[in-house]
Structure 1
Amino acid sequence: MALHWKLVVDSANAPALADFWAAALEYEVEDPSRLVEQLLGAGHLGEDAVVEHRGRRTFRGYAAIRHPDDPYDETSGVGHGRRLLFQDVPEGKSGKNRLHVDVHSEPGGRDDLVARLVDLGATRVREIDKGPGGHWWLMRDPEGNEFCVA
């Protein structure tokens, strides 16, 4: 039986990085506000564990995005499919990513996609052209995590 999984990305500002990647991938930012309110009401969560972001109450230091076509739990907002979780950590990025996201454009749309991602806050690092082996851009998200656009 195949296992469920999510990709977890360390961050300095989880909600802001989730906003970037949701816009970049055209995913949905998960909304855990109903679960947060339930946990607060039952006394299982303190106010210090909660922040407000874009008018929603969410868990401090965490934010996730999910593919808009995948199922999700309506109470928790947690996706049951393609999903990225961002979690705040105290240390900054210190080296090359050991794992990265490749974002694929529609045929002939790579340059437009790169421009859109730059407008969202990504930066170009370098263009790589391997001829028949591929042509892509190495980029960084707003926190410096590398990803590729092909």
Structure 2
Amino acid sequence: MTALNWKLVIDTRDALALADFWAAALEYAVEDQTALIDHLLTAGDLPEAAVTEHHGRRAFRGYAAVRHPEDPYDPFTGIGKGRRLLFQDVPEPKTVKNRLHIDVHAAPGERDKTVARLETLGATRVEEMDKGPAGHWWLMRDPEGNEFCVS
């Protein structure tokens, strides 16, 4: 039996910026789809308006993904074949609490250090939760206001 591959799709205002945040937060790799984009542009299958430049390489406008650095990926497309987060721009802003969120598990004794590191990347603390034997964690928000927890 093979491992289950998955991606979590997250609606954004700025997919490229939020992908950068989560890549740094999770120590994931931002997918480089330059070769695929160049191929599609050369073949006339992608309009130049669908492409932007980000950190010196071509990227799809309004889309970005990050993948676990140890998971396999297609070297031509840059698309991960394992654990991924895909960010896509949508016209409407976030209006309610997330129904699904990411839990970041810090190394033992490193929760406060991890929270501080995430703040330097643009996250904000919302509330410290201490549920005794059930756990102790921080509720935080990423730069676009999406809730996540750090335990």
TM-score, reference length from structure 1: 0.98
Asked if 1:71 is matched to 2:72, the reply is yes
Distance 1:82 1:139 in 2: 22
Report the 3-state secondary structure (helix = DSSP H, G, I; strand = E; otherwise coil) of the residue aligned with 1:90.
Answer: coil
Q: What residue is the counterpart of 2:118 in the other structure? A: 117
User: Shift of the alpha carbon at 1:112?
Assistant: 0.2
Q: Equivalent pairs: percent with the same residue?
A: 72
Write the letter of the residue equivalent to 1:11. Answer: T
Tell me which residue corresponds to 1:99: 100
Query: What is the CA–CA distance in structure 2 between the aligned matches of 1:139 and 1:82, rounded to whole Å?
Result: 22
Give the secondary structure class of the aligned counterpart of 2:6: coil
CA apart distance, 1:5: 2.0
Unaligned runs of 5+ in 2: none
Paired AA for residue 69 in structure 2? P
After superposition, the C-alpha distances for 1:65-108 in whole angstroms (9 at most, x for unaligned) are 00000000001100001100000000000000000000000000
Q: Distance in 2 between matches of 1:98 and 1:3?
A: 22
Q: CA RMSD in A?
A: 0.9
1:53 alignment partner in structure 2 = 54
State the number of aligned residues.
150
Displacement of 1:4: 2.9
CA distance in 2, matches of 1:3, 1:113: 28
Matches for 1:1-150 after TM superposition, within 5 Å: 3-150=4-151
How far apart are the structure 1 equivalents of 2:13 and 2:143?
10
Question: Please, which runs of 5 or more residues in structure 1 have no aligned partner?
Answer: none
